């Protein structure tokens, strides 16, 4: 595939970042005010279902094999998420409609995801639940791919740190909303409420941030004829860029660290800490408390970290230090496998994860090699979050069963977080 004409790229950049009503650059505050609830709804979907509704459903339908069953289901949904994020970004990159590039995919995938969630509330057997769960993760991640692409589309580079931190702030709040709703409402109403939240926040985004028509945008460069392997190679062409590869590796290991250590939180609390040691002897209640503490740490530092990274223009420093800090934090539940230890772990995890994701999204948006394929390439970088989930379910199951139980999850997580922090410092394009 030949490189696009630089003048076409410049025109595309000007067109994509202009406000449809005035032709001027949009105000970042307005953009973030609309992206925030959409991101919150998306995270509420992921966390409410992944942390409460699915583990509780698996424990109810297959109590004897709950760990293995959840690991298998997690693997399947992670595969579809790995496909869904770049697919949503790539398809929206290529969409030419009077409603814009991202809007048709944001609305369509939000509605389909809502229908799937409502169906999950009525699923009475594991096979049906697993199928619906897997398809939901495809459509919801396509939604994420289209929504995330709005950041490089509409936010100037100099404001990416602030933008990433405010959007990132929706992650802990969405987590809290999703877990609280799922824990309090139960399976049927939990799925229904989250479905309504996702659709409403998607509508707020697309009608509040109307895209201009993309009909007249330059088309994607035509691909040369070849085998399907050639097409795959072109789709993954971003990996030819060294900094793009390093950014992917850093995010991959950080996500693998966090997913392995916390993906089995429901069972960690019930089996490692012990249900009798939890407040009210309630596992869902304990999950909610842990997430509240994590959110407190996240909110306390995350927004400030993104703003400061803009001022200092030092993205790598913040991301690297946060990853190393998370590695150290992983040892708290190993040293103190108590309810208090878990709460301390949650607090410091929130601080370091919040700092990481407050700046990481800005860093990712600055290593994208091709302006006309930013949705696709940013989606591929987001795969570095979904791909570890594929491994984390199997890895966690093996560690719990054969490598010393739940404490080994945190030791493994510490090693991965340390690798992430070291790798990011080798990126050259971003300070």
Number of domains comprising the chain: 1
Provide the whole-model pTM. Answer: 0.69
Mean pLDDT of 59-77: 81
| Domain interval for residue 35 | 26-214+238-424
Residue 225 has pLDDT above 70, yes or no: no
Give domain status of residue 386, yes or no.
yes
Tell me the torsion sign for CA atoms 379, 380, 384, 389.
positive
Residue 115 lies in a domain: yes
Q: What is the pLDDT of residue 64?
A: 80
CA distance 175 to 290: 11
If one compares 227 and 8, the residue with the highest pLDDT of the two is 227
Domain assignment present for 294 = yes
Q: What is the pLDDT of residue 411?
A: 93
Q: Is residue 219 a part of any domain in this protein? A: no
Query: Do 250 and 420 touch, CB atoms closer than 8 A?
Result: yes
In a domain, 46, yes or no: yes
Q: Which residue has the tokens 């491994």?
A: 391
Helix (H/G/I), strand (E/B), else coil: 407: helix
- Tens of pLDDT, residue by residue over 125-170, are 889 999 999 999 999 999 998 988 887 777 776 677 777 777 777 8
Assess if residue 3 is contained within a domain: no
The answer to whether position 387 is within a domain reads yes
What pLDDT score does 4 carry?
Answer: 38
SS3 string, 302-352, reads HHHHHHHHHHHCCHHHHHHHHHHHHHHHCCHHHHCCCHHHHHHHHHHHHHH
Place 23 in a pLDDT band, splitting at 50, 70 and 90: very low
pLDDT class of 235 with cuts at 50, 70, 90 = low
Q: Is residue 116 predicted with pLDDT exceeding 90?
A: yes
**For residue range 268-287, what is the model confidence (pLDDT) as tens digits?**
898 899 999 999 888 888 98
Give the pLDDT confidence of 367-406 residue by residue, as tens digits. Answer: 877 766 767 777 777 777 767 766 777 788 788 888 878 8
Please answer whether residues 202 and 106 qualify as being in contact, where contact means their C-beta atoms are separated by less than 8 angstroms.
Answer: yes
Whether 252 is in a domain gets the answer yes
Domain CATH number, residue 341 = 1.20.1250.20
Average pLDDT over residues 340-360: 88
Q: Determine the pLDDT at residue 303.
A: 64
Q: For residues 211 and 106, is the Cβ–Cβ distance under 8 A?
A: no
Selection from 137-141, 239-243, 360-364 with the highest mean pLDDT: 137-141
Q: Where does the pLDDT of residue 250 fall: very low under 50, low under 70, confident under 90, or very high at 90 and above?
A: very high
């Amino acid at each position: 595939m030949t490189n696009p004409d630089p003048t076409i790229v410049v025109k595309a950049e000007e067109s994509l970042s202009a406000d449809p009503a005035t032709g001027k650059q949009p105000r970042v505050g307005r953009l973030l005010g609309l992206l925030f609830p959409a991101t919150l709804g998306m995270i509420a979907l992921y966390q409410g279902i992944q942390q409460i509704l699915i583990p509780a459903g698996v424990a109810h339908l297959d109590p004897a094999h709950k760990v293995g069953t959840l690991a298998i289901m997690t693997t399947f949904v992670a595969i579809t998420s790995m496909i869904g994020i770049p697919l949503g970004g790539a398809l929206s990159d290529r969409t030419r409609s009077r409603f814009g590039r991202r809007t048709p995919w944001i609305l369509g995938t939000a509605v389909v995801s809502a229908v799937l969630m409502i169906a999950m509330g009525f699923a009475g057997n594991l096979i049906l639940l697993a199928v619906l769960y897997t398809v939901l993760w495809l459509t919801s991640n396509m939604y994420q791919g289209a929504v995330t692409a709005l950041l490089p589309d509409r936010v100037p580079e100099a404001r990416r740190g602030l933008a990433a931190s405010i959007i990132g702030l929706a992650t802990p709040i969405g987590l809290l909303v999703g877990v609280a709703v799922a824990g309090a409402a139960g399976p049927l109403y939990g799925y229904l409420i989250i479905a309504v939240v996702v659709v409403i926040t998607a509508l707020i985004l697309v009608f509040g941030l109307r895209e201009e028509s993309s009909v007249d945008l330059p088309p994607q460069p035509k691909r040369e004829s070849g085998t399907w392997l050639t097409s795959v190679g072109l789709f993954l062409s971003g990996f030819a860029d060294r900094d793009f590869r390093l950014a992917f590796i850093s995010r991959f290991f950080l996500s693998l660290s966090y997913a392995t250590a916390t993906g089995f939180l429901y069972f960690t609390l019930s089996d490692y800490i012990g249900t009798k040691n939890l407040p009210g002897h309630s596992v869902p209640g304990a999950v909610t408390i842990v997430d509240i503490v994590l959110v407190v740490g996240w909110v306390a530092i995350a927004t400030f970290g993104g703003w400061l990274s803009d001022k200092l223009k030092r993205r790598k420093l913040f991301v690297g230090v946060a990853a190393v800090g998370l590695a150290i934090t992983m040892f708290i539940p190993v040293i103190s496998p108590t309810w208090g230890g878990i709460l301390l772990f949650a607090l410091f995890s929130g601080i370091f994860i919040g700092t990481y994701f407050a700046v990481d999204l800005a860093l990712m948006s600055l290593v994208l090699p091709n302006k006309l394929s930013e949705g696709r390439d940013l989606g591929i970088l987001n795969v570095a979050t979904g791909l570890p989930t594929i491994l984390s379910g199997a890895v966690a199951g093996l560690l719990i069963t054969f490598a010393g139980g739940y404490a080994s999850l945190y030791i493994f997580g510490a090693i991965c977080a340390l690798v992430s922090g070291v790798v990011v410092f080798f990126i050259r394009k971003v300070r």
